[in-house]
Amino acid sequence: MSAVQQTQAVTPELRAWIIEQAQAGAQPEAVLASMKASGWNEDVAIAALEETLRGFLDERAKSSALLPPPVPVPDPLPKEGGLPTVLRLPDREVRVVMAMNEPRVVVLGGLLSHEECDELIAQAERRLTRSETVQTDTGASEVNAARTSQGMFFERGESELCRRIEARIAALIGWPVDNGEGIQVLRYRPGAEYKPHYDYFDPAQPGTPRILERGGQRVATVVMYLNDPEIGGGTTFPDVKVEVAPVKGNAVFFSYERAHPSSKTLHGGAPVVAGEKWVATKWLREGVFR
């Protein structure tokens, strides 16, 4: 062993860096070249790469074996042929503002007209109460300190406006209208927020089987922005460090093929700093929601 090899220790920090490069998609050859350029002996670098990546892949394989199986999910974008700029629906053209693959997040421009936004607010406003969340330990709904908004639910197909929006979303994402929950409308006043959470129902919780009787697991979410808050109120995805601005008429779609944190769909509603925020949320299920 050379004197250089003896003095170059493979530290936890180096291993963490190698794993970061692998997670970012860097090829081992590129990582090796970077290490050599930084002064690492080639033999030491190769040994560190092989040992670290072998352990990383073994751990990832073990984790994958414990994951729930993936399920089919809706998607507003075609599987092949490149990213379109406009999606032409039967009653409206919707712009593609941004798209991510992991997680699948698509920001949609002009999903709703400004008149539809105003009408939805008007229909919902008189029925607002303190927002609740579904408790998967019991299957019931209750007020949660993490959600400081007011809200209400429309029944699916309750009004002509609801039917129009539901049909548009179904056409957009290729998912049956009957597999959707009713539209929920929420109002966030200054300081109100919804702390980061997942929309799927935790399979490990005892109340989840009861919830899933009504249509199976949630597989996707569409959040529609009904007004322009002055400051704040974006939809955040902490795992991927993305925040979607709440622009009136726009929407953000995201799907989750596994009911597991590996979906990277942890998301929240950032606090409203000035003004108020109105959103409409549509959750999609695996099967017919009753």
> When comparing pLDDT for 61 and 232, which is higher?
232
Domain ranges within the chain, ordered by starting residue: 3-66, 86-285
Q: Which residues are registered as beta bridge partners of 180?
A: 284
Distance of CA 141 to the CA centre of its chain: 22
**Lowest-pLDDT range of 14-18, 35-39, 60-64, 226-230:** 60-64
Question: What's the pLDDT at 123?
Answer: 97
Quick count: other Cβ atoms within 10 Å of Cβ 133?
14
Out of 3.10.580.10, 3.20.20.70, 2.60.120.620, 2.60.40.420, the CATH code matching 86-285 is 2.60.120.620
Token digits of residue 132: 């609740």
Give me the helix-helix angle, 42-66 and 28-37, nearest 10°.
Answer: 140
Residue 25 is which amino acid? G
Q: What is the arithmetic mean of pLDDT over 55-68?
A: 70
pLDDT digits (tens, 9 = 90+) for 236-247: 999 999 999 999
Question: What's the pLDDT at 132?
Answer: 62
Classify strands 218-225 and 277-285 as parallel, antiparallel or unpaired.
Answer: antiparallel
b/e burial code for range 95-109 (CB count within 10 A of at least 16 → b): ebbeeeeebbbbbbb
At a CB cut-off of 8 Å and minimum separation 6, what does 242 contact? 100, 105, 236
Q: What is the mean pLDDT of the chain?
A: 91
Question: What's the pLDDT at 65?
Answer: 58
Residue 286 has pLDDT above 50, yes or no: yes
Q: Which of 122, 120, 244 is nearest to 182 (CA)?
A: 120
